[in-house]
C-alpha cells in the first residue's frame, strides 16, 4: 500500500444502522419539503398583445425540442423562502460571528465598504463584451489593481484572469511549459519539484499540466532541504513550486539560495503566494528572483470566502515569462502610466487616459476562463488596497505576525511545537502529546473547540507534522479574542487529560454532532429524490436509471 | 487605514509576552539580501475617500439604456431576495465547510443546489460548482478522456468561441488533441452541427455541443448524441439554464455530461465574473468528476446532516493523482443560483423563458418587416438570433453612441460573419427597447 | 487482530493465500486500520494480468486513498463482487470475507519473496 492521506477521520464507527430512513431528526427541512403547488414568489410581466402577434410570424419551437415535463423546482412564497435560508444561515459559523483561526486560509475581516463598491451599478452591470468605450471604468480598475499588485510583489507583469489560487497555479504551470517549449526544452523538462510540506493543489496542478511530481524533504528546521533540492535539480526539471513562508508558517531563510539554484539549473521558480499576509512590505518575490507567484485575493486581500468561493488567483510573472500570459490583457493605450497612476492615487480625474484589451499576444498560452476574470473580486481587492494604503498594508503583516507569535508563546507549553522558532503569520502545533498521553487525536481536539463557539484551526496539514494543528489568527482579531482562544485551547488540553471521553463525544452544542462520513461515501446520497422520502442513491457502480415520479 | 484593532498598548503587551523589543525583530528571519525595497503604493484612504474613488471608476463606465448583448452573459432580473440571501454574512464570511458541524447552512444549501441542477438537466449527479461555464466544459472534456481512455476531443464550432479557447488551453496541459467540428454558417444555412459529420472524426473521447448554440440556433441533440455514442464517445452538452424551463433536458436527450454557465440565474454581469460553472453527469461516472460534492448522512444523535463527500477524488487527498487541482468552487454564486431558482419557481422560470423567446421573435419579426435585417439561418432559435445586417459594425458603433447596444458583432471572432448581429432578448427586453433598436437601425441605414 | 499464519505478506500490506495453482489476495488488518473506514475499492477486471508488486487497484477511505500492489503475479479469475456494495468488509474481515481477488498463479516461487506471519508482525510493530 502507498497511502496518500490528509486529515484522518475517527477510526471505528460510532454509527449503527443505515443512513436515511424516517427516524432521523431534521434540523431544517429541505426547501423541496416546503414546496406547495401553485405557491409563487417572484413573478414576471406577460408579453404584450402586439409582441405576441408579431412573434407568431417567426418559427416556433417544435415539439421535438420541448421538455416533456416541467422541472420540479420548489414552489414557495418569498417569506417562506427567506425564512428557510435565514435558518440555514443560523447553522453556520462565520468570521462575522466568531474567531476562525484556520491556518493557511487567512480568515481576516471582510470589510463591508468592499461590498458597497462591488454593488455599484456602474461596475456590477458592466457587460464583459461591451465595447471598450463603454467599459473604461472597468478596464481602468483592472489596470490600477494590476499596478498595485506589481508594486506589492515586485513582478513586472500581472494576469488577473485566473479565478482562484489553484487556477493561478494551473496558469503558471502552463506558462512554464510554454516557456520551456519555446526554448526547445519542452520534451526534456518533465518534472516539477515540491517540498513535502506542499499544499495538495501543487502536485495536482503539476499533473494537470502533464508533469511528474518529485517531493523534496524538509530539513530539521522546517525549511526545504537545500542539499536534497540541489541533488534533484537537473536538465529534466521544469520548475520548483514552493510556498514562502512555508506551510509551517516559517520563512525560508535560504530562499535566495533556493531561487538561485533553481534558475541556475534552467528551471522556473514558482512561489505559492497563499501566505502573503505575512510579508507585505517585507519581502517581494519578484524582486527576490521568483518567476511566478499566484495571489489569493480571498486571503491576503480580504475578499469574502463565501463558503467556498468565489475567490480570485491573479499571477505575477517575471519578464522572461511575460510573453506567455493569458490573453487579453487590460492595457493603457493613451496616456502616460506614471501620470495616470499619480492622478488615480491623488483622486484626480483620469479621463484623458484610455484603456483597451490587448489581444495581440502571439505567444500566449490562451485563456484559462471565459471573459476577463472575477471582476467583482477585483473591485473588492482594489477597494481594500486603497483603504489600507502603504502604511495599512505594512501594518497587516506586522500585526498578523505579532498575533501568531503571541499565540505561539502562550500555547507552546500546552501543545507540542515541532519547530520551535520564530513564526510568521501562522504557527503549527502538534497534538501528539495529547494522543500519546490521553489517546485523544487532533480531530477530537478540534471538535471540542467547536463547543466553545470558535472554529478550530486547520487540522492534519501540513502532512509532515503528526497530528498537525495550524493556527492563523490574522491581524484583525483583538487581544481579548486572542486571549480567549488561549484559554479555550488550555481548557481543551485540560479536558483531554481529565476526561478524554468527553472530547470524543464533542461537539455537543453545535446544530449537529459528528457525522457519519463513511456512510456518506459508501452510499452516496447527493441530491433530493422526488417521491422517495429519504431514499439513498444506489452505489456508484450500480447501473443508472432513476425513474422519476412526480 | 488597516482593519487591525491593535493599539500601541496592545502591541506592547504582545511584544513583551514574546520577548522581543520591536516588531522588526519578528522579521529578522528575512535575510537582508532578499528584503523588500521601497514600493510605490499610495497612502491610506478613509471610507468616504475610498467611496469617492470607486464612484469615480464606476462613473467612467457607461451602462447602456438599451442592450441586446448576450453572447454567453445575459441580463436577467436579479430578484431582491437573492441579494438578501447571499448578503447574509453567515454565508459570505464562512469558509469551505471542512468542519461540517458548524457549516450545515453552507452544506445543505449546496445539497439543494446539486438537487436543483440535477432536476433541471435530468442528470443523476451535479457538483457543487466550478469557476464558470468555460472551465466546467474544459474539465468535462478531461473527464471524458479519463472515462474513455482516449486523448482526442471534438467540439462543435457552435460552442462559444471563448469556451473553445479555454478548452484548447486546458487540453494543451496533458497534450489532448482538440478537433473542431464545423457548423454551417453560410447565409441561409442551418447554423447547426451536422450529425452525419461526426463519424468522420474518428475515435474521440467526447463531442461537445451547445444547446442553444452560440448563434442562438437549436441543435439536433438526440441525433448528435446517437452519433457520438455510435463511435464510443461521450456527449457533452453545454446548455443555458433558463432555457431548461422549456427545452428538453439534456439528460433526456442522451447527454453523458452536462455543463453550463449559471450566470443567468440571479448573478449580475459584473464585467465577466464572478460567475458559476455547472456540471452534471451520470452516477456511474461520479468518481471521475472533478470538484466538490455534498452528500446527506446522519450524526451520532440521529439527526440528518450534510458533509463534503467522495473527497478521495480531490487534490487534498489524491494530490498528484487527483482528477483536477480545483480547490475553491464558487459557493456564494451557487447559493445565488439556488436562491434565484427557488425565488422564481417553475412558473417563474417558464415565464422568463417564454418572455425571452417571445421578445426575440418580436424583435426579429419587426426588423424583418422593416427591411432592416434578415435571419441568417433556417431552423429555429431560442432567445438569441443571428441576423444579416448590412454595414453592421458601423451601425453598431453609431447606436452605442446613442446608448443602445445592438447585440454582439460575430465578426469580432469570425471575419466570415461580417455584417451580422447576434441579438439576445430576455424578460427585461421591453417593446420600447425593440422600438428604439428599430429607430436606431433605421436612422443609420 | 491475530495474523493468520497460513498466509504470506508483502511490505505493502497485502496478503496471499496459496491454494494449489491458485491464490487469494487481500489487504491486511493493519492496512485497513491505517486507512480508517473504507468506502470504495476499485477492483481489477477478471482476466487482467497482475505482476508481483505492481499496482492492481485502489482502495479509498473517507480521508485517504491508496494503491494496491499485488503480492504475486498471475491472471485474475475471480473478484469479490460483494466489496462493491460492502467495502466495509475490508475493515471488519480483511483476511476472510474481505478477500479481493483470486488469481491463477504465474510463478509459485514468487511466494518466497514474501514474509510469513512472524516477519510481518515484526515489520508492523
How confident is the model over A222-235, as pLDDT tens digits? Answer: 999 999 999 999 99
Which subunits count as partners of chain A given 3+ CB pairs below 8 Å?
B, C
Per the structure block, which three cell numbers stand in for A55? 412573434
- Burial status of residue B7 (CB atoms within 10 A of its CB: 0-12, 13-18, 19 or more): exposed
**In a shared domain, residues B308 and B199:** yes
Amino acid C5: pLDDT: 79
Query: Residue B152 is part of which domain span?
Result: 80-340
Q: Name every chain C residue with its beta carbon within 8 A of the beta carbon of B311.
A: 62-63
Question: What separation in angstroms does the CA of B429 have from each of A130, B362, B363, B383?
Answer: 17, 10, 10, 11
Mean pLDDT of A112-117: 98
**In a shared domain, residues B202 and B294:** yes
pLDDT in tens, B77-124: 999 999 999 999 999 999 999 999 999 999 999 999 999 999 999 999
Is the model more confident about A496 or about B322?
Answer: A496
B38 touches chain A (CB under 8 A): no
d(CA A415, CA A411) in angstroms, rounded, equals: 6
Question: What does residue C41 show for φ and ψ, rounded to 5 degrees?
Answer: -130, 130
> Which B-chain residues 232-251 have CB contacts (< 8 A) with chain A?
244-249
Instruction: Walk me through the domains of chain C, giving residue ranges and CATH numbers.
Output: 8-113 (2.40.50.100)
Choice among A266-280, B31-45, B292-306, B325-339 with the minimum mean pLDDT: B325-339
> Which residue, B300, B315, B340, sits at the end of a domain?
B340
Mean pLDDT of B197-224: 97
Is the model more confident about A547 or about A71?
Answer: A71
Question: What separation in angstroms does the CA of C65 have from each of A163, A315, C41, C82?
Answer: 28, 31, 10, 20
**In a shared domain, residues B238 and B356:** no
Give a yes or no: residue B333 inside a domain. Answer: yes
d(CA A173, CA A210) in angstroms, rounded, equals: 10
Q: Name every chain B residue with its beta carbon within 8 A of the beta carbon of A349.
A: 56
Give a yes or no: residue B56 inside a domain. Answer: no
Which band of pLDDT confidence, cut at 50, 70 and 90, is reported for residue A548?
Answer: very low
**Of A358-367, A526-535, C9-18, which one has max mean pLDDT?**
A358-367
pLDDT over 90 for what percent of chain C? 64
Q: Name every chain B residue with its beta carbon within 8 A of the beta carbon of C62.
A: 311-312
For an interface test with B, which of A66, A195, A306 has the most B Cβ atoms less than 10 Å from its Cβ? A306
**In a shared domain, residues B314 and B196:** yes
Reduce the DSSP state of residue C67 to 3 states and report it: strand
> Which residue, B340, B371, B389, sits at the end of a domain?
B340
Q: Determine which helix (DSSP H) or strand (DSSP E) holds B56, and give its type and residue range.
A: helix B47-59
Question: Does residue A303 carry a pLDDT above 90?
Answer: yes
Give a yes or no: residue B45 inside a domain. Answer: no
pLDDT over 90 for what percent of chain A? 89
Mean pLDDT of A110-125: 98
Amino acid B174: pLDDT: 87
Q: Which residues of A touch C (CB under 8 A)?
A: 1-11, 13, 517-518, 521-522, 539-541
Question: Does residue B171 carry a pLDDT above 90?
Answer: yes
d(CA C92, CA C115) in angstroms, rounded, equals: 23
Half-sphere exposure of A191 (CA within 13 A, CB side): 15
Mean pLDDT of A285-307: 97
Amino acid B323: pLDDT: 67
- Mean pLDDT, chain B, rounded, equals 96
Which band of pLDDT confidence, cut at 50, 70 and 90, is reported for residue B315?
Answer: low
Separation in Å, CA of B309 to nearest CA in chain A: 6
Separation in Å, CA of C125 to nearest CA in chain A: 16
Contacts (Cβ under 8 Å, ≥6 apart) of A106: A274, A277, A296, A299, A300, A425, A472, A474
Which band of pLDDT confidence, cut at 50, 70 and 90, is reported for residue A532?
Answer: low
Question: Does residue B216 carry a pLDDT above 70?
Answer: yes
> Which residue, B276, B306, B340, sits at the end of a domain?
B340
pLDDT over 70 for what percent of chain B? 97
CATH for B421: 3.90.1150.10
**In a shared domain, residues B335 and B396:** no
**In a shared domain, residues B265 and B350:** no
Question: What separation in angstroms does the CA of C115 have from each of C21, C67, C123?
Answer: 19, 20, 9
- Mean pLDDT, chain A, rounded, equals 92
d(CA B327, CA B336) in angstroms, rounded, equals: 20
**Grid-cell match 457549516, residue found:** B103
pLDDT in tens, A158-197: 999 999 999 999 999 999 999 999 999 999 999 999 999 8
Separation in Å, CA of C61 to nearest CA in chain B: 7
**In a shared domain, residues B70 and B148:** no
Question: Does residue A544 carry a pLDDT above 70?
Answer: no
Amino acid B428: pLDDT: 98
Half-sphere exposure of B34 (CA within 13 A, CB side): 25
Amino acid A533: pLDDT: 44
Give a yes or no: residue B225 inside a domain. Answer: yes
Question: What separation in angstroms does the CA of A18 have from each of A15, A509, A520, B311?
Answer: 9, 24, 10, 21
Q: Tell if the CB–CB gap between A540 and B131 is shorter than 8 Å.
A: no
Q: Which pairing describes strands C101-105 and C74-79: parallel, antiparallel, or unpaired? A: antiparallel
pLDDT over 90 for what percent of chain B? 94
Amino acid B325: pLDDT: 72
Question: Does residue A20 carry a pLDDT above 60?
Answer: no
- Burial status of residue A413 (CB atoms within 10 A of its CB: 0-12, 13-18, 19 or more): exposed
Question: Does residue B177 carry a pLDDT above 70?
Answer: yes
**In a shared domain, residues B154 and B232:** yes
**Grid-cell match 487527483, residue found:** B322
**In a shared domain, residues B238 and B294:** yes
Separation in Å, CA of B201 to nearest CA in chain A: 24
Q: Tell if the CB–CB gap between A201 and B325 is shorter than 8 Å.
A: yes
Give a yes or no: residue B31 inside a domain. Answer: no
Give a yes or no: residue B51 inside a domain. Answer: no
Half-sphere exposure of B321 (CA within 13 A, CB side): 16
pLDDT in tens, A68-109: 999 999 999 999 999 999 999 999 999 999 999 999 999 999
Comparing CB atoms, the residue among B287, B317, B321 nearest residue C64 is B317
Question: Does residue B316 carry a pLDDT above 80?
Answer: no
Separation in Å, CA of A429 to nearest CA in chain B: 17
Mean pLDDT of A248-273: 97
Contacts (Cβ under 8 Å, ≥6 apart) of B24: none
**In a shared domain, residues B315 and B405:** no
Contacts (Cβ under 8 Å, ≥6 apart) of B276: A310, B129, B130, B132, B261, B262, B263, B265, B267, B330, B333, B334, B336, B337
Which band of pLDDT confidence, cut at 50, 70 and 90, is reported for residue B247?
Answer: very high
CATH for B280: 3.40.640.10
**In a shared domain, residues B206 and B91:** yes
d(CA B275, CA B136) in angstroms, rounded, equals: 11
Give a yes or no: residue B34 inside a domain. Answer: no
Question: Does residue B4 carry a pLDDT above 80?
Answer: yes
Give a yes or no: residue B407 inside a domain. Answer: yes
pLDDT in tens, A206-221: 988 999 999 999 999 9
pLDDT in tens, C52-77: 999 999 898 887 888 899 999 999 99
Mean pLDDT of A381-399: 98
**In a shared domain, residues B310 and B180:** yes
Question: Does residue A13 carry a pLDDT above 70?
Answer: no
d(CA B123, CA B117) in angstroms, rounded, equals: 8
Which band of pLDDT confidence, cut at 50, 70 and 90, is reported for residue A22?
Answer: low
Per the structure block, which three cell numbers stand in for A469? 494543528
Q: Name every chain B residue with its beta carbon within 8 A of the beta carbon of C38.
A: none
pLDDT in tens, A411-459: 999 999 999 999 999 999 999 999 999 999 999 999 999 999 999 999 9
Question: What separation in angstroms does the CA of A120 have from each of A138, A176, B64, B226?
Answer: 12, 38, 15, 48
Question: Does residue A8 carry a pLDDT above 80?
Answer: no
Mean pLDDT of B68-81: 98
Please count the structural domains in chain B.
2
Nearest CA in chain B to A149: B41
pLDDT in tens, B381-391: 999 999 999 99
pTM (2 d.p.): 0.94
Amino acid at each position: 500500500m502507498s497511502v496518500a492521506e490528509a486529515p484522518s477521520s475517527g477510526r471505528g464507527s460510532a454509527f449503527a444502522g443505515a443512513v436515511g430512513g424516517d427516524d432521523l431528526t431534521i434540523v431544517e427541512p429541505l426547501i423541496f419539503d416546503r414546496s406547495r403547488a401553485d405557491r409563487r414568489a417572484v413573478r414576471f410581466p406577460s408579453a404584450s398583445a402586439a409582441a405576441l402577434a408579431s412573434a407568431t410570424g417567426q418559427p416556433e419551437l417544435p415539439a421535438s425540442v420541448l421538455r416533456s415535463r416541467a422541472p420540479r423546482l420548489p414552489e414557495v412564497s418569498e417569506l417562506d423562502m427567506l425564512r428557510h435560508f435565514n435558518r440555514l444561515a443560523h447553522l453556520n459559523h462565520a468570521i462575522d460571528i466568531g474567531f476562525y483561526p484556520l491556518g493557511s486560509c487567512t480568515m481576516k475581516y471582510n470589510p463591508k465598504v468592499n461590498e458597497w463598491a462591488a454593488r455599484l451599478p456602474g461596475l456590477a452591470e458592466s457587460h464583459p463584451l461591451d465595447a471598450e468605450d463603454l467599459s473604461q471604468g472597468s478596464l481602468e480598475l483592472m489596470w490600477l489593481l494590476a499596478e498595485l499588485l506589481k508594486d506589492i510583489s515586485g513582478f513586472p507583469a500581472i494576469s488577473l484572469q485566473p479565478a482562484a489560487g489553484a487556477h493561478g497555479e494551473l496558469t503558471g504551470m502552463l506558462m512554464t511549459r510554454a516557456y520551456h517549449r519555446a526554448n526547445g526544452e519542452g520534451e526534456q523538462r518533465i518534472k516539477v519539484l515540491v517540498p513535502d510540506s506542499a499544499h495538495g493543489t501543487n502536485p495536482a496542478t503539476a499533473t494537470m499540466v502533464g508533469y511528474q511530481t518529485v517531493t523534496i524533504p524538509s530539513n530539521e528546521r522546517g525549511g526545504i532541504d537545500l542539499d536534497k533540492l540541489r541533488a534533484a535539480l537537473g536538465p529534466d526539471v521544469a520548475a520548483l513550486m514552493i510556498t514562502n513562508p512555508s506551510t509551517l508558517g516559517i520563512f525560508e531563510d535560504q530562499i535566495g539560495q533556493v531561487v538561485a539554484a533553481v534558475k541556475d539549473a534552467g528551471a522556473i521558480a514558482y512561489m505559492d503566494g497563499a501566505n502573503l499576509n505575512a510579508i507585505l512590505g517585507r519581502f517581494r518575490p519578484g524582486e527576490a528572483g521568483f518567476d511566478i507567484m499566484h495571489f489569493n485575493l480571498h486571503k491576503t486581500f480580504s475578499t469574502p470566502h463565501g463558503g467556498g468561493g468565489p475567490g480570485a488567483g491573479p499571477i505575477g510573472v517575471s519578464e522572461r515569462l511575460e510573453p506567455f500570459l493569458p490573453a487579453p490583457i487590460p492595457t493603457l493605450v493613451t496616456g502616460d502610466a506614471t501620470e495616470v497612476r499619480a492622478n488615480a492615487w491623488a483622486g484626480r480625474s483620469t479621463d484623458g487616459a484610455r484603456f483597451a484589451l490587448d489581444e495581440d499576444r502571439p505567444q500566449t498560452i490562451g485563456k484559462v476562463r471565459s471573459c476577463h476574470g472575477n471582476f467583482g473580486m477585483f473591485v473588492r481587492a482594489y477597494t481594500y488596497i486603497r483603504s489600507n494604503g502603504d502604511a495599512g498594508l505594512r501594518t497587516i503583516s506586522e500585526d498578523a505576525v505579532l498575533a501568531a507569535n503571541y499565540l505561539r508563546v502562550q500555547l507552546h507549553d500546552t501543545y507540542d511545537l515541532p519547530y520551535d522558532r520564530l513564526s510568521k503569520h501562522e504557527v503549527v502545533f502538534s497534538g501528539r502529546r495529547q494522543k500519546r498521553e490521553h489517546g485523544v487525536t487532533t480531530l477530537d481536539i478540534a471538535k471540542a473547540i467547536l463547543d466553545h463557539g470558535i472554529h478550530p484551526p486547520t487540522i492534519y496539514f501540513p502532512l509532515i507534522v503528526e497530528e498537525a494543528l495550524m493556527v492563523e489568527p490574522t491581524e484583525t482579531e483583538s487581544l481579548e479574542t486572542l486571549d480567549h482562544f488561549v484559554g479555550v485551547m488550555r481548557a481543551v488540553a485540560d479536558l483531554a487529560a481529565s476526561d478524554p471521553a468527553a472530547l470524543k463525544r464533542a461537539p455537543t452544542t453545535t446544530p449537529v454532532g459528528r457525522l457519519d462520513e463513511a456512510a456518506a461515501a459508501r452510499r452516496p446520497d447527493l441530491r433530493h429524490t422526488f417521491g422517495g422520502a429519504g431514499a439513498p442513491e444506489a452505489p456508484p457502480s450500480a447501473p443508472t436509471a432513476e425513474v422519476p415520479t412526480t | 487605514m488597516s482593519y487591525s484593532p491593535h493599539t500601541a498598548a496592545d502591541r506592547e503587551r504582545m511584544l513583551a509576552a514574546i520577548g522581543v523589543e520591536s516588531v522588526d525583530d519578528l522579521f529578522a528571519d528575512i535575510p537582508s539580501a532578499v528584503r523588500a525595497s521601497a514600493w510605490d503604493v499610495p497612502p491610506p484612504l478613509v471610507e468616504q475617500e475610498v467611496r469617492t474613488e470607486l464612484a469615480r471608476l464606476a462613473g467612467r463606465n457607461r451602462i447602456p439604456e438599451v442592450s441586446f448583448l448576450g453572447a454567453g452573459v445575459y441580463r436577467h432580473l436579479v430578484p431582491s431576495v437573492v441579494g438578501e440571501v447571499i448578503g447574509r454574512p453567515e454565508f459570505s464570511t464562512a469558509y469551505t465547510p471542512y468542519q461540517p458541524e458548524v457549516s450545515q447552512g453552507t452544506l445543505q444549501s449546496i445539497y439543494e443546489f446539486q438537487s436543483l441542477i440535477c432536476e433541471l438537466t435530468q442528470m443523476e449527479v451535479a457538483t457543487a460548482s466550478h469557476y464558470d461555464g468555460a472551465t466546467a466544459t474544459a474539465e468535462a472534456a478531461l473527464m471524458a478522456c479519463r472515462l474513455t481512455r482516449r486523448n482526442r476531443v471534438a467540439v462543435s464550432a457552435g460552442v462559444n468561441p471563448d469556451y473553445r479557447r479555454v478548452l484548447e488551453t486546458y487540453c494543451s496541459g496533458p497534450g489532448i488533441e482538440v478537433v473542431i467540428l464545423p457548423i454551417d454558417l453560410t447565409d441561409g444555412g442551418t447554423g447547426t452541427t451536422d450529425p452525419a459529420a461526426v463519424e468522420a472524426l474518428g475515435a474521440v473521447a467526447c463531442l461537445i455541443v451547445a444547446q442553444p448554440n452560440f448563434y442562438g440556433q437549436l441543435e439536433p441533440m438526440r441525433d448528435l448524441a446517437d452519433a457520438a455514442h455510435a463511435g464510443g464517445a461521450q456527449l457533452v452538452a453545454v446548455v443555458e439554464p433558463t432555457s431548461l424551463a422549456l427545452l428538453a433536458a439534456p439528460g433526456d436527450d442522451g447527454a453523458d455530461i452536462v455543463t453550463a454557465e449559471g450566470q443567468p440565474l440571479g448573478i449580475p454581469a459584473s464585467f465577466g465574473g464572478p460567475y458559476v460553472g455547472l456540471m452534471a453527469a451520470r452516477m456511474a461516472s461520479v468518481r471521475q468528476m472533478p470538484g466538490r460534492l455534498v452528500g446527506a448522512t446522519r450524526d451520532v444523535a440521529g439527526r440528518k446532516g450534510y458533509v463534503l463527500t467522495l473527497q478521495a477524488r480531490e487534490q487534498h487527498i489524491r494530490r498528484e493523482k487527483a482528477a483536477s487541482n480545483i480547490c475553491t468552487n464558487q459557493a456564494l454564486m451557487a447559493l445565488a443560483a439556488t436562491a434565484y431558482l427557488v425565488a422564481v419557481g417553475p412558473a417563474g422560470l417558464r415565464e422568463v423563458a417564454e418572455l425571452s423567446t417571445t421578445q426575440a421573435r418580436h424583435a426579429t419579426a419587426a426588423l424583418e418587416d422593416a427591411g432592416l435585417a434578415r435571419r441568417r439561418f433556417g431552423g429555429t432559435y431560442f432567445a438569441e438570433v443571428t441576423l444579416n445586417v448590412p454595414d453592421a459594425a458601423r451601425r453598431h458603433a453609431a447606436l452605442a453612441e446613442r446608448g443602445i447596444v445592438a447585440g454582439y458583432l460575430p465578426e469580432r471572432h469570425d471575419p466570415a460573419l461580417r455584417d451580422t448581429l447576434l441579438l439576445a432578448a430576455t424578460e427585461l427586453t421591453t417593446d420600447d427597447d425593440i422600438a428604439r433598436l428599430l429607430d436606431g437601425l433605421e436612422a443609420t441605414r | 487482530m491475530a495474523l493468520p499464519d497460513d498466509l504470506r505478506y508483502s511490505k505493502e500490506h497485502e496478503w496471499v493465500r496459496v491454494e494449489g495453482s491458485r491464490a487469494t489476495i487481500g489487504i491486511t488488518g493493519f492496512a485497513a486500520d491505517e486507512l480508517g473506514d473504507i468506502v470504495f475499492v476499485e477492483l481489477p477486471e477478471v482476466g487482467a494480468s497482475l505482476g508481483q508488486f505492481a499496482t492492481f487497484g485502489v482502495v479509498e477511505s473517507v480521508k485517504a486513498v491508496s494503491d494496491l500492489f499485488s503480492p504475486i503475479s498471475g491472471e485474475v479469475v475471480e473478484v469479490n463482487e460483494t466489496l462493491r456494495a460492502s467495502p466495509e468488509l475490508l475493515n471488519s474481515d480483511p483476511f476472510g470475507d474481505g478477500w479481493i481477488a483470486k488469481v491463477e498463479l504465474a510463478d509459485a516461487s514468487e511466494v518466497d519473496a514474501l514474509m510469513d506471519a512472524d516477519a510481518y508482525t515484526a515489520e508492523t510493530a
